[in-house]
Structure 1
Amino acid sequence: MTEAFNNSTQFMNDEDLAAIAHYLKSLPGDSQRDGTPWQYQNATVDTRPGAHTYATRCASCHGADGKGQPEWMPPLAGAT
C-alpha cells in the first residue's frame, strides 16, 4: 500500500476518495456480517460512482473484481 500511496492515492482529491469509498460500499456485503453471500460481478462496464476511479487507480493491484492477489495484494471486495 505504500507504493499505492506514494504514487497514486496521495494525489487524489476528496471527490476521488469519496467516489471510491461510495463504490466499495456499494459492493455486496460479507455473509459473516449480514447473511448476504458475497458474489463477484463480472459486468464488463460498471457505471456506479467511483467504479472508473477504482478501475484506473486501484484495479491494477487489487484486481478488477477486488479479489486482490493472494500473498501480495489484499482483497478489497467484501472487506469491512
Structure 2
Amino acid sequence: MSTETAAKTVDVKGQNCPMPVIKTKGAFDDVSAGETLEVVATDSGSLSDIKGWAESTADAELLDQQETTEGGEDVYKHYIKKVE
C-alpha cells in the first residue's frame, strides 16, 4: 500500500489520543465507497485505537498498518478502505 493508492491522506503526526481517531473519522466521512484513506501518525497508541475504530465502524475495512522510522521518529501508517 502506498500514498499513490490512497484517495486521501491525513497527517496526525505529533497528536496523541484521541485526536488521531477523531481526525480519522472526520476524514473518513469525506472518502467515497471503494476509496482508501491513509492516516500517518506518531502516536503508537494509534495502532490499537484506529484498529478498534475500524472494527466498530460498519463501512470501514482496515487494510494494513505499517510501522516505519522517518528522520529518527517512529511513524505509524494506517490504510482504511470505505466499503459499500
Normalised by the length of structure 2, the TM-score is: 0.28
> As a proportion of its length, which structure holds more helix?
1
